[in-house]
Structure 1
Amino acid sequence: MGTRRVYVIGTCDTKAAELAYACDRVRAAGADPVLVDVSTGDASQPADVAAAEITASHPDGADAVLGSKDRGEAVTRMAEALTHWLCARVDIGAVLGLGGSGNTALVTQAMRALPVGVPKLMVSTVASGQVTQYVGATDLGMVYSVTDVAGLNAISRRVIGNAAHAAAGMAKNTIPEASGDLPGVGITMFGVTTTCVEHLRKELAGKVEPYVFHATGTGGASMEKLADSGLVTGLLDVTATEIADHLVGGVMPCSADRYGVVARTCIPWVGSVGAVDMVNFAGRETVPDKFSDRQLLVHNPQITLMRTTPSENAQIARFLTERLNRCDGPVTLFLPLGGVSAVDAPGMPFHDPEADDALFTTIRDTFKPGPRRHLIELPLHINDPAFASAMADEFLRMLP
């Protein structure tokens, strides 16, 4: 690989001095900076990459960005253009962004599109608050600017300088591959599917390296980000509760793109319908009034579960099969006919054969088998050891 450069990104119409200082510190630390301007106004100093070059990367052309009279809309389109431009670079050693709320939203959108493992740092005035919308499911570091990014002073020079040195260090020092690493496999787990996942880990010991993700919305997104980044060999997607929250209104939803990575990458996928018997809310008092007559289970003071209905389970089934039917790679969906979670079993609070039957019947009716797409039904509970063994055997069969 050639020189790995540090891309310093910001708006040269309002943050020119701070950006220039960051480039100076990157250079002093021994790395090669590239100043990228994403201004939607007139820049006060030239950059290595002018805003005009970035806007030209917008799918609808530069006029889509510069022709907008609304600043918010222009910033949104500049973010789209930067995303396309940045993802086309082949010499990124690190990305360093500086700015307030607007530029933070702009630059981090492009950062999130980069693969996991590419160093990303954002010095921001909003880094001390809620940052989920900026970080998403990727390895993006945020540094609180302490003072506003509005001129250089004793504090801002120290904070920006530290971030610049960190970015330079990451660009100059790559992580060596470990010779003994096993193929990485993403696995989704929830408390009520833990037993299944523990059995899977035992079955796969010494064959693959499991990366377990808590299916909390962000967990599933993080796993799929690794798959998009080429950092996992396949997925054992045991737990699908994020779909229930997405469709019904829980607090741990997936996005509409859940399972999209399986179609994009064609990596081996073996999955099930773990924990779709529940929608997740916070404390009991947070459950919406419209669900007051529903079956609820207080898991702990912070988590309340709501049993899904037959109609909701049919919706969940269609969401899942619609996405799996788009996949051309090896896909196998397992149905545990004995129950989908620890609390969905005879004598347990969420045992509901009618709701489960709606789920399984809709999957049978809408899943499209193919040469590499299979549906396997087993008369087992999802946490039965034999169910995990069957999933593990199928996954190992798929591996190259």
Structure 2
Amino acid sequence: MKNQTGSIYVVATADTKGRELFYVRDLIAETGVKVLTVDLSTQQLSSNFPGDIPAEMVADFHPEGRDRVFCGDRGKAIDAMSLAFEIFLSRREDVAGIIGLGGSGGTALITPAMQALPIGIPKLMVSTMASGDVSGYVGASDIAMLYSVTDVAGLNRISRRVLGNAAHQIAGAVRFALPHSHDDKPAIGLTMFGVTTPCIEAVSAGLEEDFDCLVFHATGSGGRAMEKLADSHMLTGMLDLTTTEVCDFLFDGVLACGEDRFDALSRSQIPCVLSCGALDMVNFGHPAGIPEKYAARQFCHHNAQVTLMRTTVEENVRMAQWIAEKLNRCAGEVRFLIPEGGFSALDAPGQPFWSPEADQAFITTLEKHCIQTARRQIVRLPWNINDRKFAAEAVTQFRQLALRGR
């Protein structure tokens, strides 16, 4: 067994999931890994909790005290206990891993605290909600979701197998944890989409000798993950060249960022080269799910489950205004590169989304509303974003900013 410090936290509401909680605890303990149980019950029924950390102890971490948790209103109690648990967990220094067990309420209660933990700490949520859209539970973290199959409501021939697998998964992740990398190269974040892949591959190739290039898929969660690392001081710079998540956020797409996109850049002030990669498209799923108001628009059917919609002149104006407002809050070194030859592989002469008029609307509006300074500049380039000359210039610009930052 490898050297292990810290414990696996097994977390559930013991008033309804007690048997499952202790079943998982015992299986983990049998592997030789240290384990602690935490009760997150929202009723004061756990004073005699036969585990390690009773609900009252966690509830005391709520800023307004335990009475905020034990209020008698289930919805408010879950929200309050979730906050208390997040604060409690953030102050523990012995978390080697965490496994949560729950239905809809328990999953909503436990996962915010998991999200707040650093990336790399093993996190596993066994949940009845894991077979649907789990984006709200996972966020930008590395939480693994395991569908419970049967409800988390007692032990039976199915739940024993599922919970047993979960117990051994988290124990294995902790027991055989990889050592922290001692790579001396500074880490940088890059954003990529299928239609900007040639650009990012060329940029990565141009920087990988001196930087550890972390590429994030611009699917909403990708941008959030990158910015979480920036906020955690785990990135020394970014090449946020594929900002397509903004399209989906503003125009009902399925791969949307949040209102806080780019805010980590203003907070961290790390050097960043940005561009308008894939701002020519909004992402939808199957055509049947596209909002009726877009019925007359121009579409490209990427595959059976992905439909792309070309952004209009008016939408490009709105996106440029939104992005300019965000850039104006950035005090660090920022360069926004404009690929005048098109924003994606589909936005090029002869391709279905080629629209110089729409692209120019974005460029003109961004230049109008973005307040340029010595540290915040817009740079026009005469190539498509996937042209190797564009990638080479992005590399040059970033190296200049990184050198200036050092």
Regarding TM over 0.5, the answer is yes
Greater shift after overlay, 324-333 or 241-250? Answer: 324-333
1:1-400 paired onto structure 2 within 5 Å: 3-44=5-46, 45-46=48-49, 47-67=51-71, 69-153=72-156, 155-180=158-183, 182-399=185-402, 400=406
After TM superposition, give the deviation of residue 299 of structure 1 in Å.
3.2
Q: Report the Cα distance in structure 2 between the residues aligned to 1:123 and 1:296, rounded to whole angstroms.
A: 39
Identify if the C-alpha distance between structure 1 residues 22 and 296 changes in structure 2 by more than 3 Å, giving closer, same or farther.
closer
Normalising by structure 1, report the TM-score: 0.89
After TM superposition, give the deviation of residue 78 of structure 1 in Å.
1.7
Identity %, equivalent residues: 49
Identify if the C-alpha distance between structure 1 residues 112 and 386 changes in structure 2 by more than 3 Å, giving closer, same or farther.
same
Q: Any conservation in 2 of the 1:116–1:229 contact (CA below 8 Å)?
A: no
Normalising by structure 2, report the TM-score: 0.88
After TM superposition, give the deviation of residue 390 of structure 1 in Å.
1.5
Q: Which amino acid aligns with 1:51?
A: A
Q: Report the Cα distance in structure 2 between the residues aligned to 1:305 and 1:165, rounded to whole angstroms.
A: 41
- Segments of structure 1 that go 5 or more residues without pairing to the other structure are none
Q: Report the Cα distance in structure 1 between the residues aligned to 2:127 and 2:288, rounded to whole angstroms.
A: 35
SS of alignment partner, residue 15 of structure 2: coil
Q: Any conservation in 1 of the 2:9–2:97 contact (CA below 8 Å)?
A: yes
After TM superposition, give the deviation of residue 224 of structure 1 in Å.
2.8
- The Cα offsets for residues 41-100 of structure 1, whole Å up to 9 and x where unpaired, read as 133442433323323333454443333x43123212222222222223222100111122
Q: Report the Cα distance in structure 1 between the residues aligned to 2:352 and 2:165, rounded to whole angstroms.
A: 54
SS of alignment partner, residue 169 of structure 2: helix
Q: Which amino acid aligns with 1:48?
A: D
After TM superposition, give the deviation of residue 277 of structure 1 in Å.
1.4
Q: Which amino acid aligns with 1:295?
A: Q
Identify if the C-alpha distance between structure 1 residues 306 and 168 changes in structure 2 by more than 3 Å, giving closer, same or farther.
closer
After TM superposition, give the deviation of residue 229 of structure 1 in Å.
4.4
Identify if the C-alpha distance between structure 1 residues 301 and 72 changes in structure 2 by more than 3 Å, giving closer, same or farther.
same
SS of alignment partner, residue 7 of structure 1: strand
Q: Any conservation in 1 of the 2:8–2:98 contact (CA below 8 Å)?
A: yes
- The Cα offsets for residues 262-312 of structure 1, whole Å up to 9 and x where unpaired, read as 233333321101111111222344332212222223333433222212221
Q: Any conservation in 2 of the 1:2–1:91 contact (CA below 8 Å)?
A: no
Identify if the C-alpha distance between structure 1 residues 25 and 293 changes in structure 2 by more than 3 Å, giving closer, same or farther.
closer
Q: Report the Cα distance in structure 2 between the residues aligned to 1:40 and 1:299, rounded to whole angstroms.
A: 47
After TM superposition, give the deviation of residue 39 of structure 1 in Å.
1.0
Q: Report the Cα distance in structure 2 between the residues aligned to 1:141 and 1:62, rounded to whole angstroms.
A: 30
Identify if the C-alpha distance between structure 1 residues 398 and 79 changes in structure 2 by more than 3 Å, giving closer, same or farther.
same
After TM superposition, give the deviation of residue 119 of structure 1 in Å.
0.7
Q: Any conservation in 2 of the 1:13–1:42 contact (CA below 8 Å)?
A: no
Q: Which amino acid aligns with 1:198?
A: E
After TM superposition, give the deviation of residue 358 of structure 1 in Å.
2.2
Q: Any conservation in 2 of the 1:296–1:307 contact (CA below 8 Å)?
A: yes
Q: Which amino acid aligns with 2:24?
A: A
After TM superposition, give the deviation of residue 230 of structure 1 in Å.
4.3
Q: CA RMSD in A?
A: 2.6
Q: Any conservation in 2 of the 1:4–1:172 contact (CA below 8 Å)?
A: no
Identify if the C-alpha distance between structure 1 residues 107 and 282 changes in structure 2 by more than 3 Å, giving closer, same or farther.
same
After TM superposition, give the deviation of residue 107 of structure 1 in Å.
0.8
